[in-house]
Amino acid sequence: MKVLVLTVSFPRKSMPASGIFLANTLRALRPHVDDLLVIAPRVFVPRWLGLRERWRKYSEDPLRDEWNGIEVLRPRVPTVPGQHRAWWSYRVTLPWLRRVVRSVQRERGFDWLIGYSLFLPGLWAAAMRDEVPHTAIWAIGSDVHTYAPKSRFSRRAAAWALGGVDLTICVSDYIRDLVREMQPRVRSAVTFYEGIDAGLFRDLPDRSALRRELGLADDRKYMIYVGCLSEAKGILELTACFEQVAARHPEWDLILIGPAAEQVGASAVTAQSLHSWMAKSGLQGRVVLTGVLPNDRVARYLAASDLFVFATRAEAIGTVLLEAGAAGLPIVSTDAGGNREFVGDDEAGLLVPVRDAAAMAAAVERMIRDPSLRKRCAQEARRRALERFDVWQNVHTLRKLLEQSAHA
């Protein structure tokens, strides 16, 4: 089997964590297929514009490189980044990418063309279904629950693309159900849990050793969040929750790992506003802001912590929940999207309503007051993560899924 993947997110020099979950899945898949190629187009930047700091990152990547044994093509296309320009981007980039796909298809004869994300790779894959024997869309989350309903174009484009490919791979049952609502005549929509690189969470040092390594106090308790520090991920509710918890439990601190909003183009929440919040609330010294960290470092912070908190407002299934579970952490999460598919009903953790800081604080306090509950949830979360969401095991399911769909 030969697989060609279209994506706009894949690790590169300026953003080594971009598309890391897809990258890890493909790294696990590579030994089980005959050929694998990733096409990750980059925006074309004129040489004079590439001298400016804002645009430099788009011009640094080579046209062809390799990531952990995976061959990557990065053709330059004339477009401007941003989901809100989807119609413009699709129309302008399609002819350029079609030429690239035709060229590699003539040389290597791929069996599958997979668009990773409905916008824009899924649209590209659907438009090029005559170039490759089989086409698929990998529906990953915000492309379905946030961007697809945004405009008349996005709704119609989503339905058209989903109805035109042989297979739609969905990262959760929640996303699968949304796909079927958007396009009742979708040929095949199936759930495939990408999973995580569980190896990062095996054979870690004990918690005390990790805390010494990371500069964390051994006599403190830590609740931790990993992800973008943005409104969409519930950072306002999370900070409000911690204010309530911190006032009643002075032994608990908060660790925030991830980019501030201005680093990812989001709005309202910035690193400066978070520091202002800490000063105003008297929480200096009780909140650790690490910024963006590599995955292996994130794993160590998770394993050094005591409780994972996730206040997201919309989610396909929180991959960070899986990582927290693999690290052996009990979870308090919003009941958003597919999060319940991992957390369950008071099994791997506690679920609370979206946008309800008081409910989240109450759930955190319940965990704090009940060590036996924390221990039970932590054990179940780790068992689920390692048994059901290990990418190195799940990749066999992906290969079988592609084989069966090709012969259907």
For 169-222, what is each residue's pLDDT tens digit?
Answer: 999 999 999 999 999 999 999 999 999 999 999 999 999 999 999 999 999 999
| pLDDT digits 0-9 by tens, 254-295 | 999 998 765 555 555 677 788 888 888 899 899 999 998 989
Question: Are 91 and 159 found together in one domain?
Answer: yes
pLDDT reading at 102 higher than 80: yes
Question: Are 288 and 359 found together in one domain?
Answer: yes
HSE-CB of 115 using CA atoms within 13 angstroms = 31
Question: Are 175 and 202 found together in one domain?
Answer: no
Question: Are 45 and 91 found together in one domain?
Answer: yes
Question: Are 35 and 171 found together in one domain?
Answer: yes
pLDDT reading at 49 higher than 90: no
Identity of the residue numbered 151: S
| pLDDT digits 0-9 by tens, 114-146 | 999 999 899 999 999 999 999 999 999 999 999
Q: What percent of the chain has pLDDT over 70?
A: 91
Question: Are 130 and 215 found together in one domain?
Answer: no
Do residues 70 and 64 lie in contact, with contact meaning Cβ atoms separated by under 8 Å?
no
CATH of the domain at 331: 3.40.50.2000
Question: Are 177 and 245 found together in one domain?
Answer: no
Question: Are 78 and 173 found together in one domain?
Answer: yes
Question: Which own/partner contact pairs does 378-381 have at CB distance under 8 Å and 24+ positions apart?
Answer: 378/328, 378/329, 378/330, 379/328, 380/344, 380/347, 380/348, 381/324, 381/325, 381/328, 381/329, 381/330, 381/331, 381/342, 381/343, 381/348, 381/349
pLDDT confidence of residue 238: 97
pLDDT confidence of residue 301: 98
Question: Are 40 and 165 found together in one domain?
Answer: yes
Residue 88's domain comprises 2-195+391-407
Q: What percent of the chain has pLDDT over 90?
A: 77
pLDDT confidence of residue 303: 98
Give the Cβ contact number of residue 277 at 10 Å.
18
Read off the pLDDT band of 3 (50, 70, 90).
very high
pLDDT reading at 320 higher than 60: yes
| pLDDT digits 0-9 by tens, 337-386 | 999 999 999 999 999 999 999 999 999 999 999 999 999 999 999 999 99
pLDDT reading at 150 higher than 90: no
Nearest residue to 179 (alpha-carbon basis) of 110, 122, 240:
122
Do residues 39 and 4 lie in contact, with contact meaning Cβ atoms separated by under 8 Å?
yes
pLDDT reading at 46 higher than 80: no
Residue 322 tokens read as 């899986």
Do residues 28 and 399 lie in contact, with contact meaning Cβ atoms separated by under 8 Å?
no
As a whole number, the mean pLDDT across the chain is 91
Question: Are 66 and 207 found together in one domain?
Answer: no
pLDDT confidence of residue 11: 92
Question: Are 335 and 372 found together in one domain?
Answer: yes
For the chain, how many structural domains are there in total? 2
Question: Are 172 and 241 found together in one domain?
Answer: no
pLDDT confidence of residue 14: 75
Task: Kindly state the average pLDDT of the residues 64-87.
Answer: 79
Rounded to 5 degrees, φ, ψ at 138 are -100, 100
pTM for this one? 0.92
